[in-house]
Amino acid sequence: MRNFRFYAPTKVVFGKDTESKVGGLVKEQNCKKVLVHYGGNSAKKSGLLDRIYDSLKEAGIDYVSLGGVVPNPRLSKVYEGIELCKKEGVDFILAVGGGSVIDSGKAIGYGMVNDCDVWDLYERKAQPKGCLPIGAVLTIAAAGSEMSNSSVITKEEGELKRSCNNDFARCKFAIMNPELTYTLPQYQTQSGCTDILMHTMERYFTTVKNTELTDSIGEALMKTVIHNAKILMKEPENYDARAEVMWASSISHNDLTGCGTIGDWASHQIEHELGGMFDVAHGAGLAAVWGSWARYVYKTDVNRFAKFAVNVLNVPNNFSNPERVALEGIEAMENFYREIGMPTSIKELGINITDEQISEMAQKCTHDNTITIGGFQKLNKEDVEKIFQAAR
């Protein structure tokens, strides 16, 4: 086990009707004016925004709203939010939505406190010095942004998708009512489950040895998500299944499943290029490339993949042929993706990708082949191209 830090200070308020507590939670932060930040119209239509406004009013908290955040949230919306918040004297950002809205809220929070252009933080040209306090009312179980230190923003110009990861942007609180996810389209639910799984898988595939508790917690989480994703295919309003998946979304990405390890994250970086160029659902993009990544790298540690196969996917162990077990595990994972309607190739995302596009994405992903990606196995531009080719 490696030395590690673990810091997950977000106050989680989980369960039915918990959105009614939002006013009191903002008040605890001694804040006075809130930006209520959200995505499309569903939060408005469902009455959720009204319930939130009522709770804020009851607590004597002033607010202003900004909707229109889209998946793979855009830098232009972030600038719009910063301008509004400055004009209105906002001192707290309340994100009502999933990872895109929370990430956009974090970016606005950074922009309010740091002197530089906020994009400089995402390009790693500057270090954040702070962030406005953020809270979340979660409506999509997927990104885990409600407990993570991460924010991912896409700059339209150049289709660049970049992340800024800093503890300043950890949510002060996260309200999680599983009922708010009942009406999500099936594809989005399952794309979310895939993203949750991948946040643990990226940490699980490590070359660090002797991480027994972290591994077994990760396995517990992955088995739970796989089981409940299947239930949600048939029963989208099963409260307990929604609750398992929602709680898993948070602890899959608050670092708990990576304590003492070094994660991989190559699949995420490969998918970020896809998402930047083609605007695919993040989880679906991950499912489309993961199998190709796995078959490309599994020989780095066959036993790790065999352990994944046996402990997560119930592949029967074969002590005399771990390679076979490893490959059966990759196949079982892809079969699971198919079962929940996720793609296992880029083509199934509806994209006929060209060689030029593959080359361009591999180029961007490896910063013109000046860096490698992946902690489990280091991948250069050529490796990334081969994985894209295998996944096309």
Quick one: 1 or 113, whose CB is closer to a second copy? 1
Quick one: how far is CA 274 from the chain centroid? Answer: 15
Identity of the amino acid at 391: A
Of these, 63, 122, 205, 247, which contacts a second copy (CB under 8 A)? 247
CB of 9 to a second copy, least distance (A): 4
Amino acid letter at 77?
K
Beta strands in 166-239 (DSSP E): 173-176
11 binds a second copy (CB under 8 A): yes
Q: Is 24 in the site for a second copy (CB under 8 A)?
A: no
- Residue 15 engages a second copy in binding (rule: CB under 8 A): yes
Binding-site size for a second copy (CB under 8 A) equals 39
Question: Between 185 and 319, whose beta carbon lies closer to a second copy?
Answer: 319
State which amino acid sits at residue 323. E
10 Å CB burial of residue 94 (0-12, 13-18, 19+) is buried
- 30: part of which helix (H) or strand (E)? none
Angle at 145 between CA 214 and CA 49, to 5 degrees: 140
Residue 141 C-beta: closest distance to a second copy, Å: 12
Are 105 and 93 a contacting pair, CB within 8 Å?
yes
DSSP one-letter string for 291-330: HHHHHHHGGGGHHHHHHHHHHHH-PPP-TT-HHHHHHHHH
Residues 256-295 binding a second copy (CB under 8 A) are 256, 259-260
252, containing H or E segment: helix 239-252
> Where does this chain touch a second copy (CB under 8 A) — which range of 101-109, 218-226, 354-362, 374-382?
218-226
- Binding of a second copy by 130 (CB under 8 A): no
Sole window of 50-58, 85-93, 247-255, 359-367 interacting with a second copy (rule: CB under 8 A): 247-255
Q: Which stretch binds a second copy (CB under 8 A): 89-97, 117-125, 155-163, 246-254?
A: 246-254
DSSP reduced 3-state for 125: coil
Beta bridge partners of 34: 63, 92
248 touches a second copy (CB under 8 A): yes
Of positions 41, 76, 127, 210, contacts a second copy by CB under 8 A: 210
Residue 68 within binding range of a second copy, rule CB under 8 A: no
* Binding site residues, a second copy, CB under 8 A: 1-9, 11-16, 18, 210, 212-214, 216-217, 219-221, 223-224, 227-228, 239-240, 243-244, 247-248, 251, 256, 259-260
